Homo-oligomer: A and B are copies of this chain.
């Protein structure tokens, strides 16, 4: 079960009626936060989710609307009695940015580790999930992220017998152990059927609609994508500012064959995003103009 909350849906600046775009995901007692603009900590409070369990913060890039809430959030995580380290990932420069912002949050009761990512794509494990970062095309270096919960195959006793796995090892192998026994090496795949469909959420702001996004979002259960502009005729503005229109986001969703698309990161000039969602649903029927605190729980297929 993967809980998703889009804490805000605004781009550029926080508004009284719209918080800045950021995503919080909860999985198995851990939380992952993507981006942290001014006010993100207030949205987390409003949602009622825990600061204490934020193990990872993934930064897309360092424009203020994506990172200005970091010092306040780090302090609030400290006030929630966290003592375990917290890991921040972001593009090259992340260490410098985090360090600069921590000028006003120098003392925390936990360690903060910063990892700078590079390359077109990179992948790492955090909070029990696989995180895949993929490079976007904005006016500064920017990454999108997929949060993936992988799911092993079902235990298959026939396969275990076919592989001559002694009965007494079955339980330990199911728990993930690798075992050397009577001169042989036993691994989990010897007793499990084919891997089952897991869960995947792909998040991407701020960017032009480059091909790598559709690849990265392939078959996602939920694709959260910027739609800075909804109005007809806004294509030039989107190109100029290196953002996307609703139609461009929907085209990516269709190409990636995702299950659902949430539009977000609306321009302050886009007052009622849902008035324009028809442009997106005409291309991809699963499109939705997300609102602040839009939430969803993703379950494994056979648990729905």
Contacts and interface: CB of A to CB of B under 8 A. Distances in A.
A79 interface: yes
Interface residues of A, number: 30
Interface centre among A14, A38, A63, A75 (most CB of B within 10 A): A38
Contacts of A64: 71-72, 75, 104-105
Contact of A97 (B41, B69, B104): B104
B104 A68 contact: yes
A15 interface: yes
Q: What is the total number of copies of this protein in its complex?
A: 2
A67 B13 contact: no
Contacts of A75: 13, 64
A13 B39 CA distance: 10
Interface in A1-57: 13-16, 37-39, 41-42, 45-46
B101 A97 contact: no
A104 B93 CA distance: 11
Contacts of A16: 42, 45-46
Contact of A104 (B41, B62, B72): B62
- Main secondary structure, interface of A, reads helix
Interface string A57-90: 0000011110111011001100100000000000
Contacts of A15: 42, 45
A79 B63 CA distance: 14
A72 B76 contact: no
A71 B15 CA distance: 15
A74 to B, nearest CB: 9
B71 A42 contact: no
Interface of A: 13-16, 37-39, 41-42, 45-46, 62-65, 67-69, 71-72, 75-76, 79, 96-97, 100-101, 103-105
Which 6 pairs across A and B sit closest by C-beta, in order of nearness? A100-B103, A16-B46, A64-B104, A38-B72, A100-B100, A68-B72
14 contacts: A15-B45, A16-B42, A16-B46, A38-B41, A38-B42, A38-B68, A64-B72, A65-B72, A67-B104, A68-B68, A100-B100, A100-B104, A101-B103, A101-B104
